[in-house]
Amino acid sequence: MDQTMSDGKLLTFVKELSLLLEQKPSEAVIFTKGKKLLENLIAVDDWLPEEFTKPHPQYYQQYLLYADPLDRFSVVSFVWGPGQKTPIHNHTVWGMVGQLRGQEKGTPYYRQANGEFKPGESCVSPPGHVDTVSPATHDIHVVENNMSDQTSISIHVYGGNIGRIHRSVFDPVTGAEKSFVSGYANSVIPNLWNPA
């Protein structure tokens, strides 16, 4: 990895998003100005430390890259092996999903009158694409690796510490809701001031 290319990109993103959130912007502003910041971060795939890119053979990995001490936001790398996907789930906070490597497919799910969930139209995200989720618009979906033969990685930014937030997964047939807290796969986070 070329250190002159990778040094400081995540730190720059964290600083810029922190300054934006200090202004207490509306969600619409976060999804325009914040989205542009995330697009800049994922424009070149040369900065994510290798230890936060490792897939697990059975299930996707969620690596914490940064958590704001005031719980305003968190930055997470999601690493998907071939065929891996989430259950139907929600977030309860705003989120931006930036595709760094490979491709992911996101499918919104909608509760029907009888309680079951039906899928909406899926969207495939290539590298550089940023998608959003929000309780104010639509917050329930499934995400999966769209590549059958390689790992896909996305950088997620949420309006809270997503690994500590009580969220829900849903049974598609019965609509039953089950609470969960995702946590993180890593026990240490990257040193933003000394990328290696």
- pLDDT above 90 coverage of the chain, percent: 92
Residue 194 — pLDDT band, cuts 50, 70, 90?
Answer: confident
- Lowest mean pLDDT of 151-155, 166-170, 188-192, name the range: 188-192
Q: Which helix (H) or strand (E) holds 98?
A: strand 95-101
Instruction: Give CA–CA dist 26/140, Å, rounded.
Output: 21
pLDDT of residue 2 exceeding 50: no
Residue 1's pLDDT is 37
Residue 3's pLDDT is 39
**Which of 4-8, 138-142, 192-196 ranks highest by mean pLDDT?**
138-142
- The pTM for the full model equals 0.93
Instruction: Give CA–CA dist 91/131, Å, rounded.
Output: 14
The pLDDT of 168-181, averaged and rounded, is: 96
pLDDT of residue 128 exceeding 60: yes
pLDDT of residue 16 exceeding 70: yes
Name the packing angle between helices 35-42 and 9-22 (round to 10°): 180
The DSSP-derived string for 18-59 is: HHHHHT---HHHIIIIIHHHHHHHHSSS--S-GGGS---SSS
The pLDDT of 137-150, averaged and rounded, is: 95
Residue 4's pLDDT is 36
pLDDT of residue 138 exceeding 70: yes
CB contact at 8 A, 74 and 62: no
Residue 7's pLDDT is 63
Nearest to 100 by CA among 44, 161, 144: 44
Q: Which helix (H) or strand (E) holds 78?
A: strand 74-80
The predicted-structure confidence for 54-103, as pLDDT tens digits, reads as follows 999 999 999 999 999 999 999 999 999 999 999 999 999 999 999 999 99
Residue 193 — pLDDT band, cuts 50, 70, 90?
Answer: confident
CB contact at 8 A, 79 and 151: yes
Locus of tokens 């065929």: 83
Averaged pLDDT score across all residues of the chain = 93
